[in-house]
Structures are given as C-alpha cells and as structure tokens.
Amino acid sequence: MLADFDFDVIRRSLGYLFLDGMAFTLTLTVLASVMGILLGTLLAIGRLAGPKFIAVPITAYVNLIRSLPLVLVIFWFYFLVPYIGQWMTGASRPVQVGAFASTLLTFTLFEAAYFSEIMRAGIQSIPRGQVSAGYAMGLTYPQVMRYVVLPQAFRNMLPLLLTQTIVLFQDTSLVYVLSITDFMGAASKVAQRDGRLVEMYIFAAVVYFLVSFALSRLVKRLQARIAIPR
C-alpha cells in the first residue's frame, strides 16, 4: 500500500490545505466558540433566573437544537437565512448571505445550546451562600452574576468549555457539504482533482487527530492546574 502512496500530492497541496482550508476552519472555530459561549451564557441565565415566558422558550430551543443533527441545521440555515433576511428587512427578494456568515451563524446558534448547558451547570455549582452574601452586601442581581457567580462558573467549567470547542473544531468539517473550502473541503477538492482520495483523506484524518489530541492534552493539563483542592 505504501508503495502506491503518493506523498508528493500532499506536499504540493500544503499551502492550499493550510493557508486556505485550515485558516477558514480555525477562524470559524474561534469565532463560533466565543460567540457561542457568550450567547450560551445568556441562555443559561435566562433559563435559570428569567420569568417563565423567557425560560420556557429557551428550554424548548436548547432541547430542540440538541436533538437535531448538525448537518441538517447547516442545510436549514444555508437555505433559509436568505428568506429570513428578506422577511426581516422587507426586501423584494431573498437577502444574499455569504457562505461564511451563514455557517458562522449556524455554528454559533447550534453550539450556544451546548455551551448553555455547560454554563448552567457551572452557575448551579456556585454555593447559594455566596449569592446571598452578595445580596447582603447590597449588590444587585446583575452585579452578583458579574462579580461573584460568573467568574467562578467560568473557572469551574473552563475545561468543559474547551472540550466542547474541540468538538466544534471537528464539527466544522461538515461545512464541506456546502462546497466551502475549510480544511476538509480543501482536502476533498484536492482528492477529487488529482484522483488521490486515499492519500488526502488519510492526511486529513491525521491532521484532525493531531490537533484534537494536542488540544485535549492541553485541556487535561489546564484542568489539573486550575482544580480547586477539596
């Protein structure tokens, strides 16, 4: 098998794979994780402390998104967002949305459901006595959340948030179904162009494994470092 393995096709394509494909993948991963964590935190707060007419729709949204396959959600947003934009703006035709904007919106809204559950667990892990102490000091609810609860919740949940980000990095490979040039899409295009499917898909698998494994090791070390002695 190795006798027929064409390493040269990988070497020739490294610039395209990493400068175009991996750059898109990492950009999408970072932006979607940051925006997803922020939105997920708001969803978690709304679900825990919001009135019923806010908490119930948030709960329904989180449960719905977590029950759907990501590839289906990608197709939904890619084809429906232009029509949603038309409805919101009152335009005469569907609003043209770029592939990157569509996928960023998709991953942000999808991952926010998962991040919200992580943050909800983090918020609930803070002893109620600390919240009561904050109120006793005259802090308002937003101030208690900002200065007392959320900093500790983020610290407690940081390893899980980073682990979910690694999952997000892997999930970005699904955008290749829209012919977007992420890392997987770039590898697929090279494989189809040069007829070297085995080489490119094995190389893509190795790269995803190395990146994910390295990040998971960093998360493990971080978890041991920030662990609070009991």
Domain extent listing, the chain: 17-182
CATH classification number, 17-182, choose in 2.10.10.100, 3.20.20.70, 1.10.3720.10, 1.25.10.10: 1.10.3720.10
The full length of the chain comes to 230
Q: Are 33 and 111 in contact (CB under 8 A)?
A: yes
Residues 6 or more apart in contact with residue 211 via CB below 8 angstroms? 169
Give me the pLDDT at residue 1, please: 52
Give me the pLDDT at residue 223, please: 80
Q: Alpha-carbon distance 204 to 224, whole Å?
A: 30
Per residue in 141-170, pLDDT tens? 889 888 889 999 998 899 999 999 999 999
Give whole-number Cα distances, 33 to 165, 206, 225, in Å. Answer: 6, 23, 22
Q: Are 181 and 24 in contact (CB under 8 A)?
A: yes
Per residue in 37-59, pLDDT tens? 999 999 999 999 888 999 999 99
Global pTM?
0.90
Give me the pLDDT at residue 3, please: 61
Structure tokens belonging to residue 203: 């190389």
Q: Alpha-carbon distance 177 to 51, whole Å?
A: 40
In one letter, which amino acid is 108?
Answer: T
Give me the pLDDT at residue 77, please: 84
Q: Are 116 and 47 in contact (CB under 8 A)?
A: yes
Q: Alpha-carbon distance 226 to 25, whole Å?
A: 28
| Residue ranges in the chain modelled with pLDDT below 50 | none
